[in-house]
Amino acid sequence: MKTIVLLFLASLVAVCLSSGIDEQVLQGPAHEEAGVFVEREEADTLVRPKRAATELTLTQLESLMEVCEVDVACESMMDTAGIIAAYTAHYGPIPF
């Protein structure tokens, strides 16, 4: 078993050395210069933060109902499962 592990590690080293991996890539701090990490302010503009789960207003529910009433299958599901379940099943996540 030790022989197999040793042979595997030796072949892994040989593959790494023959593949032309630069030593800079293997060193830790060089990653930051390559653009792997970004500042928090820049990340906030790139990644949309999750919204807090809040109740929908009456106007928002009426807007969902108007969209869902156009589709017969969505309207029948709205009557049985509720407007939020029907809208998300037929049209995806709620936009607001």
Tens place of pLDDT per residue across the chain (96 aa): 888 877 787 887 777 777 765 555 555 554 455 567 778 777 777 776 666 567 889 999 999 999 999 999 999 999 999 999 999 999 999 888
Is position 91 within any domain?
yes
In a domain, residue 36? The reply is: no
Which amino acid type is present at position 83? I
Question: Which tokens belong to 32?
Answer: 């930051």
> Over the Cα atoms of the chain, what is R_g?
27
Would you say residue 19 lies in a domain? no
**Helix axis angle, 72-81 to 83-91, nearest 10°:** 140
The answer to whether position 75 is within a domain reads: yes
Q: Residue 90 belongs to what domain range?
A: 55-95
Let me know if residue 45 belongs to a domain.
Answer: no
In a domain, 31, yes or no: no
Report how far residue 68's alpha carbon sits from residue 34's, in angstroms, rounded to the nearest whole number.
48
Please count the structural domains in the chain.
Answer: 1
DSSP state of 29: T
